[in-house]
Amino acid sequence: MQRSVPRPAVSSIDRQEQLAYLSGLLPAVLLLMVLTLAPAIYLFVVSLTPGTPTIPGSLTDFSDPTQNYVGALQDQQFLDSVWVQIKLSVSTVIAQVLLGLGVALLLHRRSRFLQALRTVFLIPMVLPPIVAALIWKILYTPDISPLHRLLAALGAPVSSLITNADTALWAIAFADTWEWFPFTMLIILAALQVVPDEPIEAAKVDGAGPLQLFWYVILPFIRPAIVVAALFRLIDSIKAFPLIYVLTSGGPGTATQVTNYYAFTQAFNYAYWGYASAIAVMLTAGVFVLSWVIGRRQGASAYGR
């Protein structure tokens, strides 16, 4: 709904105030430009070249600026990596939101024990990602894994999950969910705690069952928080790296090679800086578009429009 209140005339005092704010902001804006925008612009500029440090002059060769982008669209490995990325992102975001929601609902009681339990659940999230990856590397390596040994001792040996193309990606998704569901849990728990008591009590008086109560009263309140948590996890999942690097290096074959990892190998194993930059630019653009679309939908649903 548009407001139709006429804008008051801007007085000179207001203008001076605005100027003061602006001059206060200017250093921060400049710093942001230098630290964030300049490298991003450089990335884009490099993506227009066939740049590789082993060929002198290639980083300033703009004779065919679209070659990397055209090349990427014809590069089956790149296209496959996008598909792997979609599978990983969708599965981990859904799993983390559902698990985070479930655990948050269970923990949302006033009890000291549950409060202590909350802290325990946060452990995976606060571990350095490389440590989390190492934990799973050990668990997934049959030679040394207590899990594999236990299963073998119970007479149900399991073959290595990370070297099987059918299970490798899901093994990573599982580890990623273990590591990051506490994040969604935390956000949803915070949202649950500010749900007012009145509508809940009113619904109970009207005879609503627990499911109805959740669906019609609690969920609408916490939906914005769920969307924000999902958005954060989605953006983060596109940046997935330590688990893949440590557990599978993108393999077996290219079964777990996500776009981010593919760009990494192009840049740091082969030194195709131009090509890797082009992939990075496309990835960044993808993340921006996704955030924008979800942000808009979220904004719309939050204000009931």
Partner 1 sequence: MPSFRNVSRRHVLKGTAALGALALTGKAPARAGSKPFQGVELNVSCWSAPFPKLLQTYLPEFEELTGMKVNYDTPGFLIYNQRVDLELSTKGSSFDVLNITFIYVDRWLRAGWFAPLDSFIKDENATPKDWDTDDFLPAARKIMSGKDGSLYGIPWTCDCYMAAAGRYDLVEKAGLKMPETFDDIEKVAAATNKDGVAGFLGDNRHGWNFPPYLQGFGGNVFRNPPDDLMPALDTQEAIAAADFYSHLLRDYGPNGVLSYSYDQVTAALKQGRANYATEGHIFLMPAADPDSKSAKTVRYSMFPKGPAGQFPGFATHAWGIPVGAKNKAASWEFIKWAMSKSMMMRAVTEKGYSSPSRRSVIESPEFKKRLMLNGNDVAEIYLKTIELVGKSNYMDYRIVSVFPQVDTLIGQAMERIVSKQMSAAESMKQAQSSAIANLKRAGIRL
Of 13, 155, 159, 197, the residue at the interface with partner 1 (CB under 8 A) is 159
Task: Check binding of 220 to partner 1 (CB under 8 A).
Answer: no
Task: Check binding of 135 to partner 1 (CB under 8 A).
Answer: no
In angstroms, give the least distance from the CB of 81 to partner 1: 12
Distance of CA 27 to the CA centre of its chain: 30
Task: Check binding of 164 to partner 1 (CB under 8 A).
Answer: yes
Residue-wise over 70-101: b if at least 16 C-beta within 10 A, else e? ebbeebeebebbbebbeebbebbbebbbebbb
Distance of CA 120 to the CA centre of its chain: 22
The span from the CA of 23 to the CA of 173, in Å, is 47
Contact 136, 175 (CB under 8 A): yes
Q: How many amino acids of this chain bind partner 1 (CB under 8 A)?
A: 38
Of 216, 268, 288, 292, the residue at the interface with partner 1 (CB under 8 A) is 268
Contact 192, 171 (CB under 8 A): no
Task: Check binding of 75 to partner 1 (CB under 8 A).
Answer: yes
What distances in angstroms separate CA 31 from CA 27, 28, 42, 299, one per listed residue?
6, 5, 16, 29
The span from the CA of 245 to the CA of 41, in Å, is 27
Task: Check binding of 147 to partner 1 (CB under 8 A).
Answer: no
Task: Check binding of 55 to partner 1 (CB under 8 A).
Answer: yes
Contact 168, 257 (CB under 8 A): no
In angstroms, give the least distance from the CB of 38 to partner 1: 18
In angstroms, give the least distance from the CB of 287 to partner 1: 24
Task: Check binding of 148 to partner 1 (CB under 8 A).
Answer: yes
In angstroms, give the least distance from the CB of 45 to partner 1: 17
Q: CB under 8 A: which stretch of 48-56, 126-134, 230-238, 286-294 binds partner 1? A: 48-56
Task: Check binding of 291 to partner 1 (CB under 8 A).
Answer: no
Task: Check binding of 175 to partner 1 (CB under 8 A).
Answer: no
Contact 169, 84 (CB under 8 A): yes
Q: CB under 8 A: which stretch of 6-14, 38-46, 251-259, 296-304 binds partner 1? A: 251-259
* Interhelix angle 76-107/168-193, nearest 10 degrees: 40
What distances in angstroms separate CA 59 from CA 40, 73, 131, 274, 275, one per listed residue?
16, 21, 36, 7, 11
Measured from the CB atom, the residue of 11 and 76 that comes closer to partner 1 is 76
Task: Check binding of 69 to partner 1 (CB under 8 A).
Answer: no
In angstroms, give the least distance from the CB of 107 to partner 1: 36
Measured from the CB atom, the residue of 71 and 220 that comes closer to partner 1 is 71
HEC sequence for 116-181: HHHHHHHHHHHCCHHHHHHHHHHHHCCCCCHHHHHHHHCCCCCCCCCCCCCCHHHHHHHHHHHHHH
In angstroms, give the least distance from the CB of 211 to partner 1: 43
What residues make contact with partner 1 under the rule CB under 8 A?
A: 50, 52-56, 58, 71, 74-77, 141-143, 148, 157, 159-160, 162-165, 248-255, 265, 268-272, 275
